């Protein structure tokens, strides 16, 4: 069956509201490429939106998943528990920043992890307000839509949204020209004047914004916010769903500025493509919730846990944090060489790099040219004008370079 044939069936069967970046249908995938059903190879600068960091069909993940499927597929951890769930929590508690005692709870999707982090912070503080930031993205469920900044396509027509969510100005150096402390002072002033420190349950932020445009806050912004949050008796939550698990060149992006969040949400890269998400944090905060207050049928599914343990082992053994730094410097070097007037900024950390272009139509046409030439890239940003690159961290140099050839040709043809 060809992509065109499947696509015809899709239009008749799949809800229109679910979009796709490309209209080719995948047959199989590896460490750096996807092959569609028409036999065409795509260089993968998307990794399923920062998910397949260990590659698609990573050998350890395949083996662990197969072994687990043969033993059992599901019991529900809330009904009959199993070791893999405990082992994933141990790994998360050890790998996330901060030497303090931690606990974790497992869920299915990023949005679900964020929802639970908010539940835990509100329970612990007995306060209502959640502070989020301009350009922030936290999901598409009802609560997380309210936390997400951008209207189209995420929120438009889907309200009313959950109350007690307050949006503070983000540090966006290209656009605001502020240094980190000044941008933090601006955000804190807004919170104090418009929300009131004593009402704040949590400050929730992506250490580098993902969907919002790979916005890297100015140095000092995150530490100042974290410190204010602690002094206010509120919970500092880092949403590391996109930045976590080696993507930015360290296990977690908070570490680049020595920030130790009270709670961290993770998903995406954690399990090599299987659906798994987590909230990890201070034992005193996590354990404040009554027994039975957190859970869900599938959270911490044993197959996803087996995949996570194998993915984490792969990241350790192959030093994928180092690989992310290597990929990032290779991408940045090629893009900086271009010095093209359409490139407003090349930014990011590790293998989470983006170029900001003048407008959405330029970004869309560069992306379209990349797609026509077999390179899968994604756009992002509040203004839709950012092209982002999230290759699997196991992508070989020659594949990366071929992708960069296609990308630089598309950028310079503008």
Site for ligand PLZ, rule CB under 6 A: 49, 109-111, 114, 137-140, 206, 210-211, 239, 241-242, 267
Q: Among residues 36 and 240, whose Cβ is nearest to ligand PLZ?
A: 240
Least Å distance, CB 341 to ligand PLZ, is: 30
Least Å distance, CB 108 to ligand PLZ, is: 8
With beta carbons less than 8 A apart as the criterion, state whether 239 and 265 touch: yes
Q: Among residues 208 and 411, whose Cβ is nearest to ligand PLZ?
A: 208
With beta carbons less than 8 A apart as the criterion, state whether 40 and 374 touch: yes
Least Å distance, CB 208 to ligand PLZ, is: 9
Burial class for 266, CB neighbours closer than 10 Å (0-12, 13-18, 19+): buried
Least Å distance, CB 271 to ligand PLZ, is: 11
Least Å distance, CB 114 to ligand PLZ, is: 6
Helix axes 397-412, 320-338, angle to 10 degrees: 30
Residue number of the CB atom closest to ligand PLZ: 110
Q: Among residues 124 and 268, whose Cβ is nearest to ligand PLZ?
A: 268
Least Å distance, CB 123 to ligand PLZ, is: 20
Residues in the chain: 414
Least Å distance, CB 397 to ligand PLZ, is: 27
Q: Among residues 47 and 84, whose Cβ is nearest to ligand PLZ?
A: 47
Least Å distance, CB 16 to ligand PLZ, is: 15
**CA 6 – CA 314 distance, rounded (Å):** 34
Least Å distance, CB 117 to ligand PLZ, is: 10
With beta carbons less than 8 A apart as the criterion, state whether 269 and 48 touch: no
Q: Among residues 47 and 404, whose Cβ is nearest to ligand PLZ?
A: 47
Q: Among residues 204 and 370, whose Cβ is nearest to ligand PLZ?
A: 204
Q: Among residues 36 and 211, whose Cβ is nearest to ligand PLZ?
A: 211
Q: Among residues 183 and 241, whose Cβ is nearest to ligand PLZ?
A: 241
Q: Among residues 111 and 235, whose Cβ is nearest to ligand PLZ?
A: 111
What is the gyration radius of the CA atoms in the chain, in angstroms?
21
């Amino acid at each position: 069956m060809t992509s065109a044939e499947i696509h015809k069936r899709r239009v008749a069967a799949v809800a229109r509201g679910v979009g796709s970046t490309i209209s080719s249908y995948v047959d199989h995938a590896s460490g750096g490429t996807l092959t569609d059903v028409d036999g065409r190879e795509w260089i993968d600068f998307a990794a399923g939106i920062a998910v397949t960091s260990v590659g698609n069909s990573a050998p350890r993940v395949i083996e662990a998943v197969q072994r687990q499927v043969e033993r059992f597929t599901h019991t529900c951890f809330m009904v009959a528990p199993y070791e893999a769930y405990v082992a994933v929590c141990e790994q998360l508690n050890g790998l996330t920043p901060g030497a303090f005692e931690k606990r974790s709870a497992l869920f299915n999707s990023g949005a679900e992890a964020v929802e639970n982090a908010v539940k835990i912070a509100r329970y612990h503080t007995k306060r209502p307000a959640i502070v989020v930031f301009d350009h922030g993205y936290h999901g598409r469920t009802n609560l997380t839509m309210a936390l997400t900044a951008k209207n189209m396509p995420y929120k438009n027509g889907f309200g009313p949204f959950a109350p007690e969510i307050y949006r503070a100005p983000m540090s966006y150096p290209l656009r605001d020209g502020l240094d980190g402390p000044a941008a933090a002072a601006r955000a804190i002033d807004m919170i104090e004047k418009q929300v009131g420190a004593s009402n704040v349950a949590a400050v929730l932020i992506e250490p580098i914004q993902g969907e919002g445009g790979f916005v890297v806050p100015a140095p000092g912004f995150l530490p100042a916010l974290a410190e204010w949050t602690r002094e206010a008796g509120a919970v500092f939550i880092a949403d590391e769903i996109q930045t976590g698990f080696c993507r930015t060149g360290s296990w977690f992006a908070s570490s680049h500025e020595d920030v130790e969040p009270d709670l961290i949400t993770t998903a995406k890269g954690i399990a090599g493509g299987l659906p798994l998400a987590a909230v990890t944090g201070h034992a005193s905060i996590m354990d404040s919730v009554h027994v039975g207050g957190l859970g869900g049928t599938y959270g911490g599914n044993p197959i996803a846990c087996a995949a996570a343990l194998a993915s984490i082992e792969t990241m350790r053994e192959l030093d994928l944090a180092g690989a992310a730094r290597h990929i990032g410097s290779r991408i940045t070097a090629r893009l900086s060489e271009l010095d093209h007037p359409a490139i407003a900024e090349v930014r990011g950390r590790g293998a989470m790099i983006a170029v900001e272009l003048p407008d959405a139509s330029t970004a869309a046409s560069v992306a379209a040219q990349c797609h026509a030439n077999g390179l899968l890239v994604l756009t992002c940003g509040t203004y839709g004008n950012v092209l982002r690159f999230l290759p699997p961290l196991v992508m070989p140099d020659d594949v990366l370079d071929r992708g960069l050839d296609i990308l630089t040709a598309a950028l310079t043809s503008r």
